[in-house]
Structure 1
Amino acid sequence: MRIIVANDYEAMSKKAAHIIVSQIVLKPNCVLGLATGSTPIDTYKELINLYKMGVIDFSDVTSFNLDEYFGLPKNNPQSYDYFMKANLFNHINIDDEKINIPNGMTDNVVRECAEYEKKIEAAGGIDLQLLGIGRNGHIGFNEPSDHFEPKTHLVQLDEDTIKANSRFFDSIEDVPTKAISMGIGSIMKAKKILLLASGAEKADAIYDTVKGPITPKVPASILQLHPDVTIIVDKEAASRL
């Protein structure tokens, strides 16, 4: 596990973007696992800037998103499909046919989850998985539990997660209570993992991830067992290390 402490959110975001760019340069047809939420927004902005400068080409890249709210249509401004298009996909030359996001409006969630796993496998697996982390240590939407979920599945969102995400909605009642998420096993199959965290409110989660026991009560702690993990944090998120 490699830990990089950046001065601030901006420096963290640029460092993360450059690691992703290096992956694409090394393997232009790589498979990227992508995350949503506020943490990667500036990383995506930097990727867009580098694309516009001609530094990087996304035309052969395949992407798989970690998760999607269950019950939100793609055109809802709070869906992760909408988020990815607004914050990255609409501004780069990625092939629409190579973008994969769970279908939150599926009428057969078991089938949707199984097919998502098959798509990842058929693509050759994820070369680099980008992660954020929740205050409760969740990665993707894998909430604290009594076990590590192996595959893509339907999640009942934790109360803390719903509260944290309510800032994106008009009211907490509007926040979906369920989501489709890659499982911990799915994430751990990625060849490389890049986790980002910013702000003092993430300091406890980062400490527990890096120095705490490996437990499904802190889902991100499983990353201690992965052979190639880079964690980039700003000084506030690193304050307990």
Structure 2
Amino acid sequence: MSTTGTQPRVEVFPDREALGRAAGDDIAAELRRRLARQDGVRMILAAAPSQLETLERLRTAEGVDWSRVTAFHMDEYVGLPPNAPQRFGNWLKGALFDHVPLGNVHLLDPGSDPAEALRQYADELAAAPIDVVVLGIGVNGHLAFNDPPDADLADPQPVRVVELAEASRRQQVDDECFARVEDVPRTAVTLTVPRLLDAGRLFCVVPGAAKAAAVRSAVTDPIGPDCPATALRRHPDCTLYLDKESAAHVG
């Protein structure tokens, strides 16, 4: 699988704080624009420390009628207890969901029957179009938990159970979410690449030197599973927000 695609818009900022302010402002502007012409907005959000500055800015945005916004998130570990702070749903509560009066929040919870939970979540996602996705890129080029080299960029399923790559598990330790790689679950549930791309607009927030190689691959490598983030080039309305460190290898 190899096509050149179209390049996302790339914006580079001096540091992650400036990046977060700009991305948060742009996301808020998109929410206001859509809410001005439609009854509600449905959005999917990533949960990771790389997203924190953006979500902090977003939650203080003025003029967003959050009561007409429905939020989803894109991945979750299998096997962690419901109150574990490492669960992505819990992280997003602390970063955004508990700070704004959202109309609806759909948490991706594998529970004791991941297959049934995924079916229900897929139905909720499919109930109406997704307007906005706020996502990042992993150190190995993953989108959500679609890891190389096994990510299916044409996956017919909207949500699936996956085994996490070692690089993705290591990233959770480097991000100080877990103390040891051994503590990171080996299995997760994730929205698939086609499900993420089936949205009106993508805001891809990627700060930090650790992401520089993945960013370079995302914008220059052939589109394919060796770097799932290359699939962003299949979307007609994607903006990539970088700081000087993550943009180090981008011409």
Is 1:23–1:30's contact at 8 Å kept on the other side of the alignment?
no
Deviations 1:85-118 (A, max 9, x none): 11111111113xx10121132x322222222121
**Residue in 1 that maps onto 2:108:** 102
Matched, 1:129 2:140: no
User: Within 2, Cα distance between the matches of 1:74 and 1:37?
Assistant: 18
Partner AA of 1:136 in structure 2: N
Aligned position for 1:34: 45
CA RMSD of aligned residues (A): 1.3
The equivalent residue for 2:85 is: 77
Give the 5 Å matches for 1:1-241: 1-28=8-35, 29-50=40-61, 54-95=62-103, 98-105=104-111, 107-122=112-127, 124-146=128-150, 147-148=152-153, 149-150=155-156, 151-166=158-173, 167-241=176-250
The 8 Å contact of residues 74 and 81 in structure 1, kept in 2 or not, is answered as no
In the TM superposition, what whole-angstrom CA distance separates every residue of 1:65-84 from its partner, at most 9, and x where no partner exists?
01111112331111112111
For residue 20 of structure 1, report the CA deviation from its aligned partner. 1.2
Which runs of no fewer than 5 residues in structure 2 stay unpaired?
Answer: 1-7
Q: Which amino acid aligns with 1:86?
A: G
TM-score, scaled to structure 2: 0.89
Residue type of the partner of 1:49? T
Aligned length: 234
The whole-number CA distance in structure 2 between the counterparts of 1:191 and 1:92 is 22
Work out whether residues 161 and 190 of structure 2, in 8 Å CA contact, stay in contact via their aligned partners in 1.
Answer: yes
Please, which runs of 5 or more residues in structure 1 have no aligned partner?
none
Are the equivalent residues in 2 in contact too, given 1:68–1:101 (CA < 8 A)? no
- What is the letter of the counterpart of residue 177 of structure 1? R
Q: Is 1:58–1:92's contact at 8 Å kept on the other side of the alignment?
A: yes
**Which secondary structure state, in structure 1, belongs to the residue aligned with residue 162 of structure 2?**
strand
Structure 1 residues 2-11 or 71-80, which shifts more?
71-80
- Deviation at residue 173 of structure 1 after TM alignment: 1.8
User: SS in structure 1 opposite 2:168?
Assistant: helix
Secondary structure, counterpart of 1:160 in structure 2: helix
Give the 4+ runs in structure 1 shifted more than 6 A. none
Contact map agreement 1:197 1:233 (CA 8 A) in 2 = yes
